[in-house]
Every structure is written in structure tokens, then in C-alpha cells.
Amino acid sequence: MANVIITGAGRGIGLELARTHAERGDRVFALVRDTAKSEDLTALADGSNGAVSVHKLDAADLAGIPAAAAAVPCDSVDVLYNVAGVTGPISGELEGDTDWDAWDLAIDVMLKAPFAITKAFLPKMGEGSKVINFSSQLAASTWPYGGFYVYVATKAGLVALTRSMAIDLKDRGISLISLHPGWVKTDMGGPDADITTEESVAGITALTDRLTVEDSGGFFKWNGEPHPL
């Protein structure tokens, strides 16, 4: 049985990760910004016989992350999924106004928070622990479209940040990777996306299972294949 931490666990991929790991017999600590608005996660926890517990952690509240992480009642962390994200402005910023508040929120949630959350749980990690940072195919130089400026910037920055952290933690036996979860049918991905949350999570958990420190620092697709940078 593994101790699994999941941010952004209230819906979409995060919720499916919680369900999948619970079904596998793992102990899931599900972190959400607003516990009162996470009805599906609460229902999962209520029916899990203690396998899933719900805890408040707001990825946008950087100052509050250490205390929120300390309140999670686990002695060790085997897997940390940094899933929480926001879209940010999509297009039109070159011609129109730039919403800098939305930029700041995106940078806090998708770049600073994965670092701060990993740092907060690091004392509970050891040899064999794994950190999965959710990036995107938009982070790659092969992405052929414009727009999504702050989303692209934060997700590309997360790939580089993960690589750098992996170098510093390799001697401790801790593996960190960045991940493109696929274009998934979620509230963010929309109904026309390529794959379901179940398909994405099946691939992600299989990849997580086989990760070693030799993979650490890599950028991977949801199906386990290396993603081009």
C-alpha cells in the first residue's frame, strides 16, 4: 500500500487518480482548494472505508502551503501528483489588454505551487518516492500553435524546473518527472478531447509504477512514451 498525495483532486484527472489509487488499495490524501465544493470527491471518500481523505490546500495560497501540507496526516509520501492547474487567458492578448492578475494566478498555481508543495512534503519522502508534475504538450517546442501565452510559459517552465529539481534529489533516490496527461475529456479539456480520464489515468499510473531514478527529470506522455522537448 502506497501513500499517495494528489493536488487538484476535486474533479477531472485528479479525481480519477484518487479513485484509481483507492481501488488499488493505496491510501489517498486528496487535496483541494475548497472542500465544501468537492461533492464528488467527498462522496468517494465517504464510500472508501478510510482509503481516501479530503484535505484543504489552495495552490494559489503559496504562504499557506507549508501549514496545509503539515496538516495532512501521513508519515511518509510514496507518490505526489501535482495536478492542480488553471487555463489563464487563451488568446487576444497581443492586440488587446493583458490580464496580469490572471497571469500571476497561473504562475502561482502551475509553476510556484508545484515547487512549494514538493518542498513541503519533501521531509516525508525518501528512496523510492516519486513526484509527477503535470505539464502539457503545449510546453514542447514541437507545439505548432499560438496563444495560451501564460499557460505555455508556466508549463514549459515546469518541465525545466522539474529537471533541475530531479538533479538535486537523485542522490536521495527520489524520482521527479513532468507529464503531458493527454488531451483529456475534462472541464478544462472539453468534450471533443482525445481520451477519457480513465484512459489517461490508466496510462499515468502504469508510468508511475515503473518509474526509477534513471527516468528522473524526464518529460513523458501519459502513455509512458518520452515527450519531445
Q: Per-domain residue ranges for the chain?
A: 3-221
| Predicted pLDDT at 147 | 92
- Sheet with 52-56, strands from edge to edge, namely 52-56, 27-32, 3-7, 79-82, 130-134, 175-180, 219-221
| Predicted pLDDT at 193 | 77
| Predicted pLDDT at 90 | 87
| Predicted pLDDT at 186 | 78
Which residues of the chain carry a pLDDT beneath 50? Answer: none
Q: What are phi and psi of 23, to 5 degrees?
A: -65, -25
Short-list 129, 3, 30, 112, CA closest to 65: 112
3-221 is classed CATH 3.40.50.2300: no
Q: What is the rounded distance in angstroms from the CA atom of residue 109 to the CA atom of residue 101?
A: 12
Name the pTM for this structure. Answer: 0.96
| Predicted pLDDT at 185 | 77
| Predicted pLDDT at 192 | 77
Q: Which residues are catalytic?
A: 151
